[in-house]
Chains A and B, each alone.
Chain A
């Protein structure tokens, strides 16, 4: 703290009021990211320095991206905070436009036409950038004086703002990215959204997971028994409120309906075979593709059963790390390129293999500290705009981290979500940098009331 003050005394420029802890954590994470990518790309031929300087390898590119991000961060810190409040809605509209434009000028990368080709072979994924704009727009909307978030109408508008980009990215087959947009419900919860929605949401997820895990009839019996016990325990209150019994019966019927009909219907008719299989495999189950009507309709051939090679190799890589890991550059899974997309989506595996459980734990603690630090920042804001924005940053980061790491350790189907500041890729790196540095800019002006 003293150092920070000393520094801010010395330079009255852009660093004034900037939270150096976040900056340091940001720098550390970026360095770890470059290190991880280096481990993935490293070839034991003695020319690593040369190839690094050539700028042909991923880690040197990531290094360049980091440089670009530094410049970008400086620009953001030089920007007036009011710019963000003023342009929030416009930027949001621009983001939506960008996303829509991919339908026309989009480039197909890895089966998703959600990229816009830029100069010099760089590609931009609007859905990444749009998260920032959505966060700004949400902050803008919630900080309006006329917004009363306890009203259903406001809640619906907020919901539309956050889910519009999600819907577009689902159409673009970027289901993972769409899932991230649900993180804004966490922000809304903080701003007064009824916890029932969160609880219902969690319960719904729990129901779907248990549908996959437990045999249908057994689950139906469990649900029925649960309903009967609830009715028995609450029997005295039925006299007071007549609707309660109806509600319980309705919930029970809905649960059984979802479990018996809705979930199988979605997996067999709505999702593609590979998607269903991925979800099933995340919970250690096999999906029988011959039941999938959608894949069967598309081609006459029996739908091919995809194997969970990615996740299996990823688990092998992390699992083989053990307590202390195999050591820097000694990961056999990493050096043998067994894990696909290891510098992007599965970058966590190289860390897990090389540095083991201890390394992973330290890494997770850095992230945890990072998130908690942003919450601290969020809570010290005077203006709702800054606070909502800060919580949006926390939620986005949390969802990215959780989805990505859970995918690599086989807890969640792989949705293709990057690990913030670690995964290789300019699009992801730049968008997280902007996200975090806007927060730092807003935090520097926390004494100001922004709307």
Chain B
């Protein structure tokens, strides 16, 4: 029998070989031809820990930090290891009840599993951190983990500095090649955005091996592939933090903007857009909520009016009209017009003038001092109808060229994102307005000469104009950052545009002297005579821009001192009326503070008075009022809830939500600003909750 079946032994050998062959083929398939498994194993097991470098710090001109990094501590919990924790003590320290404790643990497990650390309490106060750290041994499963958070010691310049936030998918798509990853923070606005590359530094990556429960087993390949984090570099700006703070204070309760530039360098000393907000509300865990609230605010606290607000310059434009005519050689400083209360040179279009006494526009100086509409209408027509260019359209094009070179109707390239260029209208615009080419002339667009018509400018452009006049014909593009720490070639390239001198006119110094004298006269016996800077002679021009939607906008431009100017200022207060009333004093104090380093004692009460003037339009006030009513209703409901809560601790969740909502007050209103300054905004809900509970009868 054995012999009979011997061949079958061979068959069995073949079967065995076949089985092994099949296994080998599958192994070849898996190990040699499927790259995805290698990748899957790496994704599984290699944990890349990103080591965030410290972001660069932004300093003001005296090396005071406008923002800095502080180490904040989060209390982290790994629920699986926290079973033996002393819950009672922990709750007492954190001032929460066990229901809340259990809820947080549940949330942590739900969001992040029970074996990974989750945040239990973010951004601990220093006091709480101290008390927790001496008791940590009682809380196994809990750790204090540090993280770097932006802090703004002066609570100022929020719109300029911008904020950092976690990148979202849209951001990642836009900045594909720059190495951002989900969970990273990046500058989203202001200087943080513009100088993101400088500030962010270079992230380090540490690789660890982790197990199936994401527990770290040790460094991968002994750290062979790790990279070191390189700290971000600091920015040195021209901002003067005290001037900035003063300007913000003065613009409280108003909608408007102020810009102060050092004309010699183009460095911006202060830039305010009101209403503004406390930059500290956009750090930490309350960021999202506060941000959402500010976006909804009709007064737009995050909108930088200094670079985005477009206003007709009004009379503040007049010195410029003179410069164009002087540069083209159409007038001399001694040129004068006889004005009897208005400009009638165009017949149908009559431009009224504030003055009608003879000789108030006998020369350029006088015309400027008296802000004579007739004079500047006349000068404007001269420029448009210049024989050299043949017709009005060509004359206008030349004039527009002048405007653009002065920085009007073009972006000045301030180092903030999303600057607006405002408007010097195109000829096409006028062709459309007047029904065809050549169907308009200098008379049709006459009011351009006094800063009205379709012309608009941003406050920073107006301030830049003052720089040109102060410098007698040149300017540096306005900017914040003077220098960067360890400046490299790339940085130099980036800052080159701010170190280039733009020469825009070729007018003799004597002609400029007439303009300066005229503007100085404004401050002596003209519209700005009520505003004085102790011990400083300065030049200014007021403006009142017609506003079709309500009260006129108040404008004020100035530079000081008259000789060797060191500061040029433009202030716009929306619905402020005459330029000298609302905007003038603000500009005056800004210059005084910068030049004298202090405000005179008599000035201090005046500062207070100006700060208190409320010029917010009724529509916005009503919006706040509505918000407040809702808040009041909520507060009433809240108290009712609190009473119920005292009886039974059931509806704590609804409570918290209501309180969060309640805290969402607009920033622009006076009391909020004070409150935010006085307290850490992150702790507000909890503190208020306590207060209500305590204050209840």
Contacts and interface: CB of A to CB of B under 8 A. Distances in A.
Interface of A: 44, 149, 186, 189-192, 195, 313, 315-323, 332-333, 335-338, 352-353, 356-357, 360-361, 364, 367-368, 371-372, 375, 378-379, 381, 384, 387, 391, 394, 398, 401-402, 405-406, 409-411
* Chain A, interface SS category: helix
A360 B27 contact: yes
Interface string B225-256: 00000000000000000000000000000000
A353 B20 CA distance: 19
Given A318-B30, A333-B45, A361 B24 contact: yes
25 contacts: A44-B217, A44-B218, A191-B1, A316-B37, A317-B41, A319-B31, A319-B38, A320-B37, A323-B32, A332-B45, A332-B209, A335-B209, A335-B217, A336-B209, A336-B217, A352-B31, A356-B31, A357-B32, A360-B31, A364-B20, A364-B24, A368-B16, A391-B12, A394-B16, A411-B23
B13 interface: yes
- Most B C-beta atoms less than 10 A away, residue of A195, A323, A332, A411: A332
B110 interface: no
Interface stretch (B2-10, B60-68, B539-547): B2-10
Interface in B295-353: none
Nearest to A340: B212
A322 B209 CA distance: 19
B34 A338 contact: no
Contacts of A375: 9, 12-13, 16
A271 B36 CA distance: 33
Nearest to A379: B9
Contacts of A336: 44-45, 209-212, 217
B16 A316 contact: no
Given A316-B41, A320-B38, A336-B212, A379 B1 contact: no
B86 interface: no
Contacts of A398: 16, 19
Contacts of B41: 316-317, 319-320, 332-333, 353
Interface in B516-534: none
B46 interface: yes
A405 B22 CA distance: 11
A34 B354 CA distance: 104
Contacts of A319: 30-31, 34, 36-38, 40-41
Contacts of B40: 316, 319-320
Most buried by A among B22, B46, B220: B22
Contacts of B30: 315, 318-319, 409-410
A315 to B, nearest CB: 6
B24 A318 contact: no
Nearest to A190: B8
Contacts of A410: 26, 30
A10 B31 CA distance: 48
Interface of B: 1-2, 4-6, 8-9, 11-13, 15-17, 19-20, 22-24, 26-28, 30-32, 34, 36-38, 40-42, 44-46, 209-212, 217-218, 220
4 closest A-B pairs by beta carbon, nearest first, are A319-B37, A332-B45, A320-B41, A336-B211
Contacts of A394: 12, 16
Contacts of B17: 368
A364 B23 CA distance: 9
A332 B44 contact: yes
Contacts of B44: 313, 316, 332-333, 336, 338
Nearest to B27: A360
Contacts of B11: 189, 195
A417 B15 CA distance: 20
B12 A323 contact: no
B592 to A, nearest CB: 68
Given A192-B1, A320-B38, A406-B23, 9 more contacts: A319-B41, A320-B40, A332-B46, A336-B209, A353-B41, A360-B27, A364-B24, A367-B20, A368-B16
A171 B13 CA distance: 33
Nearest to B217: A335
A189 to B, nearest CB: 6
A308 to B, nearest CB: 14
B219 to A, nearest CB: 10
Contacts of A44: 217-218
A372 B31 contact: no
Nearest to A323: B32
A147 B157 CA distance: 103
